Structure 1
Amino acid sequence: MDKERILVVDDEPHILSSLKRVLEEENREIITAESAEKAWQALKEKGEVGIVICDHRLPNMNGVDFLVKVKRLYPDTIRILITGYPELSTAVEAINKAHIWRYILKPIEVENLKILVKQAFDYHRILKENRLLLKIVRQQAYWLRNIKSKYPKIGEETKKSRFGLDEKKISDTIEEFTKRYDLKDE
């Protein structure tokens, strides 16, 4: 099983260390960065992460702009914005531009954060699985179209067999019903 990976971005070192301590688990890697630049460097070195938890107020770039960039490069990464200065305009911008998954106010409730991170990883896994399944369905649809174009009679036979199968099911159901309720032609 792959390690769950979280990138935490906050310019306050004590918050970074607290979040790292709270979120660390056996099968989880916590990457921390004190700025958007350091966070980008970490992403370049370590690759995609499942969750990014980012403070809104960062040096040189705000958290929303950083999360917009994360969304562009890693659309399946779950994005969470944290802030000690709640403003409706920030929340709206984060939702509309960065498509954040959650907006969390400081001080952060530890138990709520743990639950939220578990839910975020579950959601991340579902996104990845759905993307893979969609790719498989598209490939199968492509191959099916190719086969049908090369062998047009296959489509006709499939329709006939599907109809015949439904006819047989109906016939079997009627027969079973007749036996069960002892109905006979009179």
Structure 2
Amino acid sequence: MDKHTILIVDDEVGVLNSLKRVLQSEDREIFLAESIDEAEKTLKQHGEVEVIICDNRFSNNILGINFLTKIKRLYPDTIRILTTAYPDLATAMEAINKAHIWRYILKPIEIEELKTLVNQAFDYYRILKENRLLLQIARQQAEWIKILREKYPEVVSKEVRESAIYTVDERRVSEIIAEFMRKYYPQQKK
């Protein structure tokens, strides 16, 4: 089983270590970054992570919102959680509208709430990935049906031709093609 991945970004080492200790389990790989630059290097080295928990204000006046906005473009399925000790409505609205964060958490962080949110985030990430895969499969199946309809119109039933929604699995497509080949191109005896 692959491990769940989390990147925690905060310039307070104590916060990083506390969150890692609270969220650590055998099925998780947790990366820590004390700066946005370090977080970007971690992502370049390890690739997409499932969840990013990022503070908004860093000591060098860099905002976590800007980093999470960049992450939205690079890794749209990554679940983005913004933490802040300085809540205000403008920041919350910007985080939602610009970075499309999944959750906005106020510091000090409620540990049990965070554990629950991270588990929900893993589930949500998995659902996003499964949906993308299913969409890709559906598009591929639609393409197969289109090819079958063009090349072998006599094989495609009237119901399929008239139906607006197609559901055909790869095995069935192979069976249809094999049946057609046997019927119209029987093996020649030598």
Q: TM-score, normalised by structure 1?
A: 0.83
> What's the counterpart of residue 103 of structure 1?
104
- Asked if the contact 2:50–2:122 (Cα under 8 Å) also holds between the matched residues in 1, the reply is yes
SS of equivalent residue, structure 2 residue 142? helix
Unmatched 5+ stretches in structure 1: 163-186
Give yes or no for contact 2:7–2:49 (8 Å, CA) kept in 1.
yes
User: After the TM superposition, which segments of 4 or more aligned residues of structure 1 sit over 6 Å from their partners?
Assistant: none
- The residue that corresponds to 2:183 in the other structure is none
| SS state at 1:32 partner | strand
Counterpart of 1:62?
63
Q: 2 CA distance for matches of 1:87 and 1:157?
A: 60
Question: 1:125-140 residue pairs with structure 2 within 5 A?
Answer: 125-140=126-141
In 2, Cα distance between the equivalents of 1:22 and 1:41?
A: 24
Equivalent pairs, count: 162
Partner of 1:36: 36
Q: Take 2:140 and 2:12, find their aligned partners in 1: how far apart are those partners?
A: 47
CA distance in 1, matches of 2:19, 2:152: 60
> What amino acid maps onto 2:21 in structure 1?
R
The residue number in structure 2 matching 1:114 is: 115
Q: Distance in 2 between matches of 1:126 and 1:40?
A: 25
Alignment deviations for residues 116-140 of structure 1 (CA, whole Å, 9 cap, x no partner): 1000000000001111111000000
Do the aligned partners of 2:148 and 2:156 also contact (CA within 8 Å) in 1? no
Structure 1 residue aligned with 2:90: 89
Change in CA separation of 1:97 and 1:155 when aligned onto 2, cut-off 3 Å: same
- CA deviations on 1:125-168 (whole Å, 9 max, x unpaired) are 000111111100000001111111222334453359x9xxxxxx
Cross-structure match for 1:17: 17
**TM-score, with length taken from structure 2:** 0.81
SS in 2 for 1:31: strand
Deviations 1:33-56 (A, max 9, x none): 011100000111111110000000
Pairwise CA RMSD = 1.7
Gaps of at least 5 residues in structure 2 are 164-190
C-alpha distance 24-159 of structure 1, shift in aligned 2 (>3 A): closer
